[in-house]
Structure 1
Amino acid sequence: MRIGIVVDSACDLPADFIREHNIVLLPITVRIGEAVLADHREEDATLNFLHTHVAERGAEAETIPYSVNQIRDLFLDHLVIDYDHVFCMTITKTRSPIHDNALQASFAILNEYRPIRQAAGHNSPFALRVIDTQNLFAAQAVTAVEAVRLRDEGAGVAQMREQLEKLAGNVHGYMITRDLYYIRARGRHKGDRSVSLFSAALGSALDIKPVLHGYRGETAPVAKIKGFDNAVQQLFDFASRRVVHGLLTPVVCISYGGPLDELRALPGYAGLRDTCGAKGVQLLESVMSLTGMVNVGKGAVTIGFADEPHEFDA
């Protein structure tokens, strides 16, 4: 059976990993003033847009996910012919309409695919499953990597569906941002006032960086640490300890809102990389999606891995 894997472009995977494993993207378009770019996970284009636009007016950006009709057309034009079953894994539905758009599109796709497949010489049925990864950015990539592993090992559709849906509820994402003022400005633009001016001013004045934890569709601070570099080092050290303890899948995904050379120079990164290597855990690093950067700002770090329930321990 030909199994396809679809993710949206907020899923922070390296471009070469996406190409190597024939992962299909649902691009998210970012508009800042008159500048518009559809995010196809092209690192150079992302960094150029970051330097020319995000730094200036990123908090005012509009992100435009694939619509119901665009998803329907993508499937009916290509995917119902190229594959027999597709897993479509989306950013958490609590933060984006992409999941609901894909779910709504799936009804039309399953009603309309038969004559298209038959014309292409395929008489077997087509099926798809929309999965809410319940997480963001690097963390949502963990479920996609597992889907690739299961497919490559020859797992059946039922086994993949069961394991991926179970895994999505056990992925932990962590994020540290550099600029609380940016987060507040972005939140105000979107109508989210969860970061007050006082909190932003106090945090910036004291150089306090919150560590945000994404888990099962919810995002909340789990620690406040003085200094960005210090906070990142403690996060990477914590992730190293979880790797040593034993993860549910052998992968850690990391994304950074800027050039990857900057990520690799951050304190604690080399230790995490070495720990992953010693434990046979794949470390995937990528430039953060445009969607991620316009929502959390330049220079943010996100990390994701599948693990049992735990408490963040700096």
Structure 2
Amino acid sequence: MRIGIIVDSACDLPGEFLEREHITILPVTVQIGQAVLADVRNEEATMNFLSGETGARAFEAETTPFTVQQVHDLFLNKLVLDYDYVFCITTTRTRSGIHDNAVQASYTILNDYKPVRAASGNNTPFMLRVIDSQNVFSGVAVPVVEATRLRAAGETPPRIRANLENLARHTHAYMVAPDLNYLRNRIKKRGDKSVSFLSAALGTALDIKPVLHCNQGETEPVAKVKGFANASERLFDFTARRVKSGLLSPTVCLSYGGPLEEMRKLPGYDRLRETCAAQKVEVFESFMGLSGLVNVGKGALTVGFASEQSGFD
């Protein structure tokens, strides 16, 4: 059985991994004033788009996920021909409309695929399953990597589905953003209350950085640390402890809103990499996608992994 995987462009994974595993991207379109770019996870295009005046107004960005019709057309024009079963893994429905659009499209896709496949000489059934990752950024990446491992191991679609849905419930993403004013302006535009105005003002004045946590679609601050480097080190060291305690999937995903060389110079990074190597945990490092950057600002760091343990220490 040919199993396909499709993700939205807010999933932070390296481009070479996505290409090697033949993972299809659902682009998110970003508009800032008159400037428009479809996020297809191109680092150079993203940084060019966020330069100059456009970048200064990034917090005003409007993001538009693939519509129901666009998802429907992508499947019927390509995916129902290339695969027999497709897993569509999306950013949490509490933060993006792509999940609900994909679910709505799935109904018409399953009604319309038969003549399309028959025209290519294939009369076998086609199935798809939309999986809510219940997470954001590098957190979305964790079940995607697991899906590729299960596919390579020859697991059946029902077992893959059950594993992914369980993993999503236990996947945790953590983020440290360097610019609280930007983050506050952006989440205010989105109607979010993760960082209050007072917290942003005090945090900026005192150089206090919150560590934000996402699990099961809910986001909240779990720590406040003075200085971005210190907050990043605390997050890296915390992740290393979770790795030593045992993860549900041998995967840690990192993403950064800038050149990865900058992330690799942050304190605690080397210790985390050494811990992962010792525990045989694979690390995926990715430049943050455009839709993520306009939501949290340049220079943000995110870490994703799956663990039965909760809490930040």
8 Å CA contact retained: 1:47, 1:259: no
Q: What secondary structure is seen at the aligned counterpart in 1 of 2:191?
A: coil
Q: Name the SS for the 2:308 alignment partner.
A: coil
**Deviation of the 1:188 alpha carbon:** 2.5
C-alpha distance in structure 1 between counterparts of 2:194 and 2:312, whole Å: 22
Equivalent residue number for residue 253 of structure 1: 253
Query: 2: CA distance between counterparts of 1:182 and 1:166?
Result: 34
Counterpart in the other structure of 1:289? 289
TM-score normalised to the size of structure 1?
0.97
Q: Which amino acid aligns with 1:195?
A: V
In structure 2, the CA distance between the partners of 1:155 and 1:54, relative to structure 1 (3 Å rule), is farther
Corresponding residue for residue 122 of structure 1: 122
Q: In the alignment, is residue 302 of structure 1 matched against residue 302 of structure 2?
A: yes
> Counterpart in 2 of 1:3?
3
2:34 and 2:158 map into 1 onto residues whose CA distance is: 46
Distance 1:259 1:128, change over 3 A: same
Question: Which residue is equivalent to 2:35?
Answer: 35
Structure 1 residue 194: deviation in Å?
A: 4.9
2:15 is matched with 15
Shift of 1:277: 1.1
SS of match in other structure, 1:234: helix
Give the conservation status (yes or no) of the 8 Å contact 2:194–2:220.
no
**Aligned counterparts of 2:54 and 2:256: Cα–Cα separation in 1:** 14
Asked if 1:226 corresponds to 2:188, the answer is no
Q: CA deviation at 1:193?
A: 5.0
Change (3 A) 1:149 1:193: closer
Q: Say if 1:110 and 1:127, in contact at 8 Å, map to a contact too.
A: yes
Counterpart contact for 1:171–1:305, Cα < 8 Å: yes
Residue 93 of structure 1 corresponds to 93
Counterpart in the other structure of 1:67: 67
Q: Which runs of 5+ in 2 are unaligned?
A: none
**Which position in structure 2 is the counterpart of 1:200?**
200
The AA in structure 2 aligned to 1:246 is G
Task: Decide whether the 8 Å contact of 1:234 with 1:268 is kept in 2.
Answer: yes
Give 1:174 shift. Answer: 0.3
Amino acid at match of 1:47: M
Alpha-carbon RMSD:
1.1
Q: 1:41, 1:289 within 8 Å by CA — same for their partners in 2? A: yes
Deviation at 1:11, TM superposition (A): 0.2
Corresponding residue pairs, total? 313
CA contact (8 A) 1:55 1:298 kept: no
SS of aligned partner of 1:135: coil
The aligned amino acid for 1:300 is: A
Q: In structure 1, what is the Cα distance between the partners aligned to 2:30 and 2:4? A: 26
User: How high is the sequence identity, in percent, across the aligned residues?
Assistant: 60
Aligned counterparts of 2:19 and 2:268: Cα–Cα separation in 1: 29
Amino acid at match of 1:231: A
Please tell me whether residue 171 in structure 1 is matched to residue 171 in structure 2: yes
Q: Deviations over 1:272-309 (max 9, x none)?
A: 11111111111100000111110001100010001013
Deviates more, 1:192-201 or 1:173-182: 192-201
Distance in 2 (CA, whole Å) between partners of 1:254 and 1:43 is 15
Q: Find the residue that maps to 1:222 and give its secondary structure.
A: strand
Counterpart AA for 2:122: H
Alignment correspondent of 1:189:
189
Give the conservation status (yes or no) of the 8 Å contact 1:247–1:307.
yes
What does 1:136-175 correspond to in 2, within 5 Å? Answer: 136-175=136-175
SS of 1:75 mapped into structure 2: helix
Aligned-residue offset at 1:54: 5.7
Q: Is the 8 A contact 1:10 1:137 kept in 2?
A: yes
Find runs of 4+ consecutive structure 1 residues off by over 4 angstroms: none
